[in-house]
A and B are shown apart, each in its own frame.
Chain A
Amino acid sequence: MYKVAVLGDRDSIYGFAALGLEIYPVEDAVDGAHTLRRLAEGEYAVVYITEALAGQIEEELDKWRSRPLPAIIPIPGVSGNTGLGMRIVKKSVEQAVGSDII
């Protein structure tokens, strides 16, 4: 049985606690990278991460890309949509097709 975690700045993620997802507020990128690694190695199948934080630790995200679990999914935070989530979708398309056709 797996759990779901939400990672990011506190203001963006505190609402998820009410839904029963586990929230992990982090202050900076270094802390974020550490926590992400800990969560990914733990019992979490899905880790939602705010785009603002994900943008700072993209290489950490790439490490888990080819593993079956966990799924690390960027979501927009309070600071707005940076387009990172869409960029990751486009990256998959480029990897598979060779050019961005979507």
Chain B
Amino acid sequence: MATTHVNPTRMELTRLKKKLVTALRGHKLLKDKRDELMRQFLDLVRENKALRQKVEAALESSNRRFMLARAAMQDEALNTALLAPKQEVFLDCDTRNVMSVEIPQFTYKTRTPNQGDIFSYGFAFTSGELDEAVESLSGILPDLLRLAETEKSCQLMAAEIEKTRRRVNALEHVMIPELQENIKYITMKLDENERSTQIRLMKVKDMMLKQAHGYPDL
């Protein structure tokens, strides 16, 4: 039974029917949106997972190299070596629209044209381990940035999917059944009214005939 009171009028019926059509179309569209988002999300999240595994493994080995470098050099020397970085990374952030979710797209630029220009120190007073460590870390950088991009996209898409799913469910399980119920209620009520009017008219006709011609009761 309908929880809210509806006026059983033709106007209300037309209004509800229009609303139902809109709700059905919205439901279909949102469902399509959810499915497509989910497909893209799953692709992206798989990539995200693979990237993360790769980056974590690479960082671990690079961390190990840095530990060795620290062991081989004095703290002061190490600090001075890395004190004034030669390189600087700038990010440009564009957005790509995936099913109305704005996901970031990073492109990065380095200050010096040569990306390999990472050694901010002379090689005379530093150990070879440090060179290796810095080198290995610089190899991870593109993957690291790609990881940031996919991970953020995944988070944004996950939030959007959750929202869309709620909307789809609300339409499917609440709005549409309620509208159908109300429409049914009004149609039945209107039909009932029509029948009662018909009967009344027939009764009146009988009474009038009886008055005019004085027919006896049949």
Contacts and interface: CB of A to CB of B under 8 A. Distances in A.
Chain B binds chain A: yes
For the residues of A in contact with B, the DSSP-based class is mixed
A96 B162 contact: yes
A19 B87 contact: yes
Interface residues of B, number: 59
Contact of A76 (B59, B106, B152): B59
Contacts of A4: 89, 91, 108, 145
A12 B63 contact: yes
B66 to A, nearest CB: 5
A48 interface: yes
Interface string B154-191: 11111101100000000000000000000000000000
A96 B62 CA distance: 33
A56 B87 CA distance: 31
18 contacts: A1-B92, A15-B62, A15-B134, A17-B82, A19-B87, A20-B110, A21-B89, A46-B145, A66-B156, A68-B104, A73-B144, A73-B148, A75-B55, A77-B63, A92-B45, A92-B157, A93-B158, A95-B159
Interface of B: 38, 41-42, 45-46, 48-49, 52, 55-56, 59-60, 62-63, 66-67, 70, 78-79, 82, 85-93, 95, 102, 104, 106, 108, 110-111, 118-120, 133-134, 137-138, 141, 144-145, 147-149, 151-152, 154-159, 161-162
Interface of A: 1-4, 11-12, 14-21, 45-46, 48, 65-66, 68-69, 71, 73, 75-78, 80-81, 85-86, 88-89, 92-93, 95-97, 102
